[in-house]
Amino acid sequence: MDPLSSPLLTDLYQLTMLQAYFEREMTDTAVFELFVRKLPPGRDFLVAAGLEQALDFVTELRFGDEELDWIERSGLFRREFAARLGQLRFTGDIHAMPEGTVFYPDEPLLRVTAPLPEAQLLETRVLNLVHFQTVIASKAARLRRAAPGKGLIDFGLRRAHGGEAGLLAARAAYLAGFDGTATALAAPLFGIPVFGTMAHSFVQAHDSEAEAFAHFAAAFPNNAVLLIDTYDTVEGARRAVGVSGKLKGVRLDSGDLDALSRQVRKILDDAGRTDAIIFASGNLDEARVAALVAAGAPIDSFGIGTGLTTSADAPYLDAVYKLEEYAGQPRRKRSTGKATWPGRKQVYREYEDDGRFRRDLVSVDGEAHAGEPLLRLAMQQGRRLPQPDLASSRAHCLAQLRCAPEGPYPVEISAALRALAAQVDRVT
């Protein structure tokens, strides 16, 4: 079995609930919604991401022979349960915000409408895929805003929490406005531009820095970016300008990046290498990048690693997947601090005349409101509908970032939705 697409990549309680549902024939239509309860510190908004991989998972959802064999051998389930699972396919609908859409707390970014066992089984893996990429895309969007007009490259695979995380982080970062990644596999998988320079080990493996630069420049005569801080950054810059042929650029990975970039820029320009770029990396985040940009440091591109792929300042969201309707009846959780709004919902966004966001309204699905409905049909009766490609989603995200305001943003609840919640409270 493929462990990343297996339906057993789930919480055990999804399976125990399914057996209980099947035994009582609780298979009426259920509506679940995925949303984030609150913003983490340092975030004004979030960026929806991961829908493509979630739809991949749902489309291929099925229990194969190996999964069913484990179900039977585990001793946890009745034999007839495996037979029901063997027939299970997703037959419902999914509405979702397009990838790259800016959204806010309490707004459903994904709604699943399907027979209860099918909708329930999606919870863990769909949350896993959407949550992680949304975390990374939201972090990447902050970096994109901090560095307008600058190159941004994902450098984070080696510090990511596993290989899948590194790949999906590269995708989410590109979606949110990064220009590319150092992760080679992201190119054939997602069509993301890839970038690479050299490591300090390459320089250290040679008898001299000058020799290392000459060998690398000869190997890549039109694309050499030389890492110049292995020993002494300024001396490294002087050696870099001495290589024969084209010098695409140099990379700084340590020290006072503002002061060093100014010294290096002068060395490059004085040597006639005015078209050579300066690339900076080394424990960067949006605050450091913004400070360098504000100071006018002559840095053309930034490589962002650990801070991006772990979203170090906000590594998780309070993202949940909750039942909002079953068998035609709205449902509502009323736990203190975790109450939900019942029923199927839609999010409408209103805009100022200049295109900036004015306000969002969360309403009962089917209400007529001004503004743009954000949830779109992505899967119908188990059939996946065409979605924008990654390049289109990236363009959509960049347009969203230009329109999203800084600071607190009004998200309102419609009167009809409040009335529905009050009605549910009276009868439950």
Give one DSSP letter per residue of 218-231, joined into a string. Answer: HHSTTT-EEE--SS
Q: Is the pTM of this model over 0.95?
A: yes
Q: What is the pLDDT of residues 292-327, one digit of tens each?
A: 999 999 999 999 999 999 999 999 999 999 999 999
Q: Cβ neighbours of residue 409 under 8 Å, at least 6 residues apart? A: 44, 45, 104, 357, 359, 360
Task: Give the chain's mean pLDDT.
Answer: 97
pLDDT tens per residue across span 234-275: 999 999 999 988 999 999 999 999 999 999 999 999 999 999
Q: What share of the chain is helix, strand, coil (3-state, %, to 5)?
A: 40, 20, 40
Predicted local distance difference test score (pLDDT) of residue 1? 87
Res. 428: pLDDT tops 80: no
CA atoms of 79 and 341, how far apart (whole Å): 38
Query: What would the pLDDT profile of 113-172 be if each residue is shown by its tens digit?
Result: 999 999 999 999 999 999 999 999 999 999 999 999 999 999 999 999 999 999 999 999
What percentage of the chain carries pLDDT values higher than 70? 100
Residue 414's pLDDT band (cuts 50, 70, 90): very high
Neighbours of 313 (CB within 10 A): 15
Sequence-distant (≥ 6) Cβ neighbours of residue 297 within 8 angstroms: 257, 258, 261, 262, 280
For range 41-48, the mean pLDDT: 96
Better pLDDT: 426 or 362: 362
DSSP lists the bridge partners of residue 250 as 226, 278
What are the Cα distances from residue 134, in Å, to 22, 194, 196? 33, 22, 26
Give CA–CA dist 372/393, Å, rounded.
17
- Which domains, from first to last, does the chain contain? 12-136+316-427 (3.20.140.10), 143-309 (3.20.20.70)
Q: How confident is the model at residue 337 (pLDDT cuts 50, 70, 90)?
A: confident
| pLDDT tens-digit readout, 58-110 | 999 999 999 999 999 999 999 999 999 999 999 999 999 999 999 999 999 99
Going by pLDDT thresholds of 50, 70 and 90, the confidence category of residue 421 is: very high
pLDDT at residue 400 tops 90: yes
Which residues face 23 on adjacent strands? Answer: none
Candidates 417, 311, 315, 321; CA nearest to 369 is 417
Q: Which of 302, 210, 182 is closest to 252 using CA atoms?
A: 302
